[in-house]
Amino acid sequence: MNQVILTGTGLFTPSQSISNDELVASFNAYVEKFNSENAAAIEAGEVEALAPSSVAFIEKASGIKSRYVMDKQGTLDPDIMCPRIPERSNDQPSLLAEMGVTAAKQALAEAQLEADEIDAVLVACSNLQRAYPAISIEIQDLLGINGFAFDMNVACSSATFGIQTGYDMIRSGSAKRVLMLNTEVCSGHLNFRDRDSHFIFGDVATAVILEDAEIARNKQGFEIVDTRLVTKFSNNIRNNFGFLNRTAPETRDEKDKLFIQEGRKVFREVVPMVAQMITDHLADNNLQANGLRRMWLHQANRNMNDFIAKKVLGEEPTDDMQPTVLDEYANTSSAGSIIAFHKHKSDFESGDMGVICSFGAGYSAGSIIVRRAG
């Protein structure tokens, strides 16, 4: 089997950001308007009054302080509360492809590669912009890459599933160099009128390059020691948007055609699932948790990550051990653990080990053990 090394990462961050103060002001303006327009029906008990959101709740419950978005204006307008992103012609690059290309170029530079040296492209994310042609094939074309490309969706866990897919392809010899992208416009699937979840997501794109270690130019990359994936069906995070929605027009615009979740249940069920997965994965590789320098966890909830890291490590994690990016980026679905890795990998020394871990809808979870080469 060929050895696989991760030689480059890239990050596209949108130029616009929304603070919790701005988001809550917009939400509460909507609530005030709704309640005043429906005052008589609320008084008569026919309509339930909406409750306001609060910055203090958001920060305590999730650790999120801001999020990057592709369109701030439409998202914050209490009469719209949705990004406004004009449709492009079929001759123009799609938004997701454009974001992915920016992240890919950074990753290629770190790996010291030209785009035409890549031979497979994977886009692994929660929210694909269209049914087909695949976004990955469009990115392949925009970058001038030969070989093949395909899209895959395992929701928030897509990055680790993408890494394992690329790893398996390189180990078996069906590809030598793989570009794996996580392109997310999560603001497009977020219901900004839902108090329970309006603060959760942000937009971003990340890229990872995996190579056969024998031909890698960047010798300072991260060897993939082992990968593990786990899935277990749950309806607690769900989005019923799909191509059959038009066949039932009476329910086409209901709330479940956007992101919905039972956050408390997800928290309770996913923490033990993920902690066990990482613990078993380390044990099966004869590794001790105290041999880990860092865990780059999926970025959904700060408290959740602290619990997972504490369970795995047996002690309170420091920020250095378990870095957080969700305070600035919020939950960016598939990209979260890769943003954390991208921003917090340069201080690793040869031989240092870490775990990249994602989890989310499905349920789905993945663990990638890496060791700094060089």
Distance from C-alpha of 218 to C-alpha of 358, rounded to nearest angstrom: 25
Indicate whether 186 belongs to the interface with ligand COA (CB under 6 A): no
Nearer to ligand COA, 94 or 234 (CB): 234
Work out the number of other CB atoms within 10 angstroms of the CB of residue 157.
29
Of residues 43-82, which lie at the interface with ligand COA (CB under 6 A)?
Answer: 53-54, 57-58, 61-62
- Residue from 104, 111, 170, 237 touching ligand COA (CB under 6 A): that is 237
Residue of 82, 125, 156, 186 with catalytic role: 156
CA–CA distances in Å: residue 192 to residues 82, 189, 208, 278: 7, 9, 30, 34
Look at residue 20 and give its three-state secondary structure: helix
Nearer to ligand COA, 274 or 282 (CB): 274
Indicate whether 23 belongs to the interface with ligand COA (CB under 6 A): no
Nearer to ligand COA, 34 or 267 (CB): 267
- Residue from 83, 166, 221, 263 touching ligand COA (CB under 6 A): that is 263
- Binding to ligand COA by CB under 6 A, coded x per residue (else -) over 144-163, reads ------------x-------
Indicate whether 300 belongs to the interface with ligand COA (CB under 6 A): yes
- Residue from 130, 264, 316, 320 touching ligand COA (CB under 6 A): that is 264
Q: Which long-range contacts (CB under 8 A, 24 or more apart) does 76-79 make?
A: 76/18, 76/22, 76/23, 76/25, 76/26, 77/26, 78/26, 78/27, 78/29, 78/30, 78/33
156 is catalytic: yes
Which residue in 42, 40, 64, 38 sits closest to 53, CA to CA? Answer: 64
DSSP letter for each residue of 1-34: ---EEEEEEEEE--SEEEEHHHHHHHHHHHHHHH
Indicate whether 268 belongs to the interface with ligand COA (CB under 6 A): no
Binding site for ligand COA (CB under 6 A): 53-54, 57-58, 61-62, 156, 195-196, 237, 261, 263-264, 266-267, 300-301, 304, 331, 360
Which sequence positions are flagged as catalytic? Answer: 156
